[in-house]
Structure 1
Amino acid sequence: MKIGSLLGALSVPFTQNSFVERPENITITATKTIYDFKMKSLDGKEVDLSIYKGKKVIILNTASKCGFTKQYADWETYYEANKDKVVVLGFPSNEFGGQEPGTDGEIAAFCKKNYGVNFPMFSKVVVKGEGKCDLYKFLTTKSLNGWNDKEPSWNFCKYVINEKGELTHFFASGVKPDSKEFMDAIK
Structure 2
Amino acid sequence: MSLHEIALTLNDGTETTFGQFTGRAVLVVNVASKCGYTRQYEGLEALYRRFKDRGFTVLGVPCNQFAGQEPGSDAEIVEFCRVNFGVTFPLAAKVNVLGKDQHPLYASLTRFPAEDGLGEKVKWNFEKFLVSPQGGVVGRFRSAVEPDDQEFIAVIEAVLPASVPIAS
Q: TM-score, normalised by structure 2?
A: 0.84
Equivalent position of 1:146 in the other structure = none
Q: Kindly provide the amino acid, as one letter, of the partner of residue 47 in structure 1.
A: T
2:68 aligns with one of 65, 89, 98: 98
Q: Whole-Å Cα distance in 1 between the matches of residues 2 and 87 of structure 2?
A: 26
Identity within the alignment, %: 40
Q: Kindly provide the amino acid, as one letter, of the partner of residue 17 in structure 2.
A: D
The answer on whether the counterparts of 2:95 and 2:103 sit within 8 Å (CA) in structure 1 is: yes
Q: Whole-Å Cα distance in 2 between the matches of residues 75 and 47 of structure 1?
A: 22
The Cα shift of 1:119 comes to 0.2
The Cα shift of 1:33 comes to 3.0
Q: Which runs of 5+ in 1 are unaligned?
A: 1-31, 143-148
Q: Which runs of 5+ in 2 are unaligned?
A: 113-118, 159-168
Q: Whole-Å Cα distance in 2 between the matches of residues 47 and 113 of structure 1?
A: 26
The answer on whether the counterparts of 1:150 and 1:170 sit within 8 Å (CA) in structure 2 is: no
1:71 aligns with one of 37, 40, 47: 40
Q: Kindly provide the amino acid, as one letter, of the partner of residue 26 in structure 2.
A: V
The Cα shift of 1:180 comes to 3.2
The Cα shift of 1:156 comes to 0.3
User: Do structure 1's residue 181 and structure 2's residue 145 form an aligned pair?
Assistant: no
What is the aligned residue count? 150
Q: Whole-Å Cα distance in 2 between the matches of residues 135 and 49 of structure 1?
A: 8
The Cα shift of 1:52 comes to 1.2
**CA-atom RMSD in angstroms:** 1.3
1:136 aligns with one of 106, 110, 118: 106
Q: Whole-Å Cα distance in 2 between the matches of residues 36 and 48 of structure 1?
A: 6
The Cα shift of 1:183 comes to 2.1
Structure 1 residue ranges (4+ consecutive) displaced by more than 4 angstroms after TM superposition: none
